[in-house]
Amino acid sequence: MNEACLTLWIKETEEALRQYGLALVVVDQPVQRSNGLPARLAELTARLVKHIDRHFDLQGFVIEGGTTASYVLRQLGWKKFEP
């Protein structure tokens, strides 16, 4: 996945949020577990969430996968959670 793919992913997510008020972001293909691709996808997902968080009033989101969650939370600068 490259920057052009990320730009398209962001655009499609924004369109879904505007049209439906929600969006589901997924990797819809099997992920190759070589050459750092899973970490790259987690990084790009985090960048997408950060962009969306800056431009939309998110009421919440769900993240599947510990590595992805870690990347997203670091991008957002979140360090402490309270129940």
Q: What is the per-residue pLDDT across 57-81, written as a single tens digit (0 to 9) for each?
A: 988 889 888 888 999 999 999 988 7
| Contact predicate 75/46, CB 8 Å | yes
Mean pLDDT, the chain, rounded, equals 88
CA angle 48, 53, 57 (to 5 degrees): 140
| Contact predicate 10/48, CB 8 Å | yes
pTM exceeds cut of 0.75: yes
Distance of alpha carbon 7 from alpha carbon 63, whole angstroms: 20
Percent of the chain with pLDDT over 70: 96
80 phi/psi in degrees, rounded to 5: -135, 140
Tell me, what's the pLDDT at 11? 97
Distance of alpha carbon 9 from alpha carbon 15, whole angstroms: 10
